[in-house]
């Protein structure tokens, strides 16, 4: 039965090759997906970086506004304090008209 033995071996080799080809195809598909995911991730990462930079910029603007607000509050406090003194002087200097 040498012929049968030879055919059988070829069949086994063919099946093994089919499996290898199928595995390779699956691997190619996986690699393709992985590359797509990598591109998408890179894209998202870039977007995220841009957003973080924008947030940092906005935060600096808010901080600057805060500093400006603090200065204004301090100036306002000083003006209120002066106004308080002025009103106090006015109240004291007013003649007592109540009988």
Give the binding site for another protein (CB under 8 A). Answer: 70, 73-74, 77, 81, 83-85, 87-88, 91-92, 94, 96, 98
Task: Please state the closest distance from residue 75 (CB atom) to another protein, in A.
Answer: 10
Residue among 1 and 98 whose Cβ is closer to another protein? 98
Report the C-alpha gap between 94 and 99 in whole angstroms. Answer: 14
Task: Please state the closest distance from residue 87 (CB atom) to another protein, in A.
Answer: 5
Residue among 4 and 90 whose Cβ is closer to another protein? 90
Q: What is the DSSP string of the chain?
A: -HHHHHHHHHHHHHHHHHHHHHHHHHHHHHHHHHHHHHHHHHHHHHHHHHHHHHHHHHHHHHHHHHHHHHHHHHHHHHHHHHHHHHHHHHHHHS-----
Residue among 13 and 86 whose Cβ is closer to another protein? 86
Task: Please state the closest distance from residue 73 (CB atom) to another protein, in A.
Answer: 5
Task: Please state the closest distance from residue 34 (CB atom) to another protein, in A.
Answer: 54
């Amino acid at each position: 039965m040498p012929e049968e033995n030879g055919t059988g071996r070829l069949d086994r080799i063919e099946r093994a090759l089919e499996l290898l080809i199928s595995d390779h195809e699956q691997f190619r598909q996986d690699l393709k997906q992985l590359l797509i995911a990598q591109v998408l991730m890179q894209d998202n990462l870039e977007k995220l970086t841009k957003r973080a930079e924008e947030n940092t910029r906005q935060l600096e603007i808010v901080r600057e506004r805060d500093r400006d607000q603090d200065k204004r509050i301090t100036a306002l406090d000083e003006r209120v304090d002066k106004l308080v003194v002025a009103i106090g002087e006015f109240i004291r200097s007013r003649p007592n008209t109540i009988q």
